A and B are shown apart, each in its own frame.
Chain A
Amino acid sequence: MTLLDIRALRVSYAVPSGTVHAVDGVDFALAAGECVGVVGESGSGKTQLFLAALGLLDATASASGSVRLGDTELLGAPRSLLETVRGRRIAFVFQDPMTALTPQLTIGQQLSEVLRVHRALGEDAARARSLQLLERVHIGDAVQRLRQYPHELSGGLRQRVTVALALACEPQVLVADEPTTALDVTVQAGVLELLREVKRERRLAIVLITHDFGVAAQLCDRIAVMYAGRIVESAATEELYARPRHPYTRALLRAVPRLDTPVDEPLVNIRGAPPAPGETPTACAFAPRCARADARCVSERPELMGTEQRVACHHPFTEPLATALARRS
């Protein structure tokens, strides 16, 4: 059953030189209990996509298309409606836990605020529930922590608090925007483990926005790769890793250093740079950097095709990545 259904979503910004499309026609569906990774480099539009879905875009942005949560259309919905969706049905976890908590309010005050706003809980009930939530995200000394201010907590603990905040009202969808990027590797592992647990126990649908294939692979059932505001490939995680079909995905995966890569071997990089925002190519956006590009790639934009493994490419790869690598060496 599709829970969150995004169709033909476009986010554009008017700039002096014209219009910039941060998100350029994206279809995205999320089923209940599913975990989807949205992978892309900076500026590929992965965060904008979900900010738009909740009406959190800057006032200068305009969004078109459709975002449905269940039976509710969210795009262009009045703020009063959006306020009942935000935090209650769709919750966000932001990238940097150091700045995502209000410094002047204690952890307890911030947790109960959300509970009181959405659940209309009284003070005592909110406190009891806050304690539960902190224990749920494995924060020890919960009673003490409720009284502390954000600056008294470490980064990892703060990120656990933001997860607790997001879970407070038992949302249907959790959007985690680079939840581990700002954290140490060891702390990262803890937060990922927490998300995995939450996903398992609550049948919560999770969208994990990341630029890190490793993080996405640990958690996600399915991965969508974004490039220049469009989804270029979408497939089940194992399938995507074993048989990346889009040249961009393949190049990205090859760029990830592996433990068995010889130390002296230079890391693979992708030549060229992503298109500057504002250039809205009628061609495949990746064509200038693609070894397989031909005349068709620069004249006709490929659409996302296929059913299980969807790819937007005129000349997709078919053989598994391992075979290709083996043949080369």
Chain B
Amino acid sequence: MTAPASGLWQRLANDRWVVGCGALLAALTVLALVGPALSPYSLETPDWRAMALPPTTQDAHWFGTDRLGRDLWLRTWHGTRISLLIGLLATAVSMLIGVTWGAIAGYVGGRVDALMMRFVDVLYSLPYVFFVIVLTVLFGRNLILIFLAIGAVGWLTMARIVRGQTLALRRRPFIEAAIAMGVPTWRIVARHVVPNVAGPVIVYATLTIPQMILFESFLSFLGLGVQEPLASLGNLIAAGAAEMEIAPWMLIVPAGVLVLLLGCCNFVGDGLRDALDPGSNR
């Protein structure tokens, strides 16, 4: 954002908890990227000798296998990769649209504001599951469509949050001072308003990532999201939930990864918020 990167990193590095969570998040990401390559098995081919095998160090089935004999280590990290990708991309899209939309509506105000926010209200009132079903029926199932569908829903709340913050900011003396110094409007929005909403935006974005991942898994559960044989944490958990009484690891492994992932996102976001706001010393 605006704080020079060096100062930001320094403040982040002072918080051990955040550093720990960041490291764990990085480790999960690395595993999601290289984990599948460490396994001798493939995503789709079943191991006929080992169906519904609990986690074991033998045969390199570290997380066990599912009921079709597919390796869960491989599928879990592959699913993490897709879930992370969807979560990050959808959040980035929703941040970009939401922050721009909300900041403009809140800062300009008046009729423009009313119009822009009514548009948000209309989108809000669309039953989005139905919306997504219609989209998939019309355009077929693919990942890009899922990004679009999730992103289209995600930015609405972001826009509302940013608009509310901007409305409050507009009355702050430093914004008035910037106006009185003749700083042009677009520059005030970009340099004085947006950095000031960074705190809430980042906090909300950290909530959006898990929300997006959960939304994706919900879609997958309905059969509208990521399709087998591709794995996402969502459809792994859905499959695991069906087997949890006889093969709990099928649920515990992907669910554990999801919990770690979401927990780390939250703590890192919290740390980022503190670091981005130099005035708030806890």
Determine if B118 is an interface residue (Cβ-Cβ < 8 Å). Answer: no
Residues in B neighbouring A85, C-beta threshold 8 A:
182
Asked if B179 contacts A56 (CB within 8 A), the reply is yes
Q: List the A side residues contacting B191 at CB < 8 Å.
A: 102, 105, 113
Chain B: which residue is nearest A162 at the CB level? Answer: B177
Given contacts A99-B174, A103-B279, A117-B181, 8 further A-B contacts (CB under 8 A): A84-B182, A86-B181, A94-B177, A99-B173, A102-B175, A102-B192, A113-B183, A114-B182
24 pairs from A and B in contact (CB 8 Å cutoff): A56-B180, A79-B185, A83-B184, A86-B179, A86-B180, A87-B181, A92-B181, A94-B177, A96-B173, A101-B174, A101-B177, A102-B174, A102-B175, A102-B178, A103-B196, A103-B279, A104-B3, A104-B192, A104-B277, A117-B182, A149-B3, A149-B278, A150-B279, A152-B278
For A21, what are the chain B residues with a Cβ–Cβ distance below 8 Å? none
Confirm or deny: B195 has a beta carbon within 8 angstroms of a beta carbon on chain A: yes
For residue B181, which residues in chain A have a CB less than 8 angstroms away from its CB? Answer: 86-87, 91-92, 114, 117, 165-166
Q: Report, nearest first, the 5 A-B pairs whose CB atoms are least far apart.
A: A86-B182, A87-B182, A87-B181, A104-B195, A99-B173
Q: Please measure, in the bound complex, the distance between the C-alpha atom of A92 and the C-alpha atom of B174, giving whole angstroms.
A: 12
Interface status of A151 (Cβ within 8 A of chain B): yes
Interface string of B1-23 (1 = CB under 8 A from A): 11110000000000000000000
Pairwise interchain contact A100-B277, C-beta atoms closer than 8 A: no
**Contact in complex: A117, B173 (CB < 8 Å):** no
Question: B127 near A: Cβ within 8 Å?
Answer: no
Residue of B nearest to A103 (CB): B279
Residues of the B chain whose Cβ atoms lie less than 8 Å from the Cβ of A84: 182
Give min CB distance, A83 to chain B, whole Å: 5
Complex interface bits, A92-133 against B, C-beta within 8 A gives 1, otherwise 0: 101010011111111001000110011000000000000000
Interfacial chain A residues near B278, Cβ < 8 Å: 103-104, 149, 151-152
Known: A54-B180, A86-B179, A92-B177. A117 touches B187 (CB 8 A): yes
Question: A79 contacts which chain B residues (CB < 8 A)?
Answer: 185
- Per-residue interface assignment for chain A, residues 67 to 84, with 1 indicating a CB less than 8 Å from any chain B CB and 0 otherwise: 000000000000100111
Specify which chain B residues have a CB less than 8 angstroms from the CB of A92 in the assembled complex: 177, 180-181
- In the complex, chain B residues whose CB is within 8 Å of the CB of A46: none
* Cβ–Cβ < 8 Å partners of B198 in chain A: 104
Q: Please tell me if the beta carbons of B182 and A151 are within 8 angstroms of each other in the complex.
A: no
| A88: Cβ under 8 A from any B Cβ | yes
Contact mask A131-167 → B, CB, 8 Å, 1/0? 0000000000000000101111000000000100110
A291 interface hit (Cβ, 8 Å):
no
Closest chain-A Cβ to B256's Cβ sits at a distance in Å of 38
Nearest chain A CB to B280 CB, angstrom units: 9
Question: How far, in Å, is A297 (CB) from chain B's closest CB?
Answer: 38
Q: How distant is the Cα of A71 from the Cα of B187 in the complex, in angstroms?
A: 28
Is the Cβ of A56 less than 8 Å from the Cβ of B176?
Answer: yes
- A15 is an interface residue with CB less than 8 A from chain B: no
In the complex, residue of chain A having the shortest beta-carbon distance to the beta carbon of B279: A151
Q: Does B49 contact A (CB under 8 A)?
A: no
> Across the interface, which residues of A come within 8 angstroms of B185, CB to CB?
79
Partner of B174, one of A83, A100, A152, A166: A100
A59 at the interface (CB under 8 A from B): yes
User: Which residues of chain B from 210 to 258 have any CB-CB distance to chain A below 8 Å in the complex?
Assistant: none
> Measured between alpha carbons, how far is A292 from B277 in the docked complex, in Å?
57
Residues in B with CB closer than 8 Å to A83 are 182-184
Q: Kindly state whether residue B40 has any CB partner on chain A within 8 Å.
A: no
How many angstroms from the CA of A85 to the CA of B179 in the assembled complex? Answer: 11
* Cβ-closest chain B residue relative to A80: B184
User: Are A100 and B177 within 8 A (Cβ)?
Assistant: yes
The CA of A117 and the CA of B179, in the complex, are separated in Å by: 12
Which chain B residues (165-209) contact chain A, with CB distance < 8 Å?
A: 172-185, 187, 191-192, 195-196, 198
Closest approach, in angstroms, between the C-beta of A88 and any C-beta of chain B? 6
Q: Decide: B277 and A103 in contact? CB cutoff 8 A.
A: yes
Query: Within 8 Å CB of A149, what residues of B?
Result: 3, 278-279
Q: Judging by beta carbons under 8 Å apart, are B182 and A103 in contact?
A: no
Taking CB as reference atom, which chain B residue is nearest A84? B182
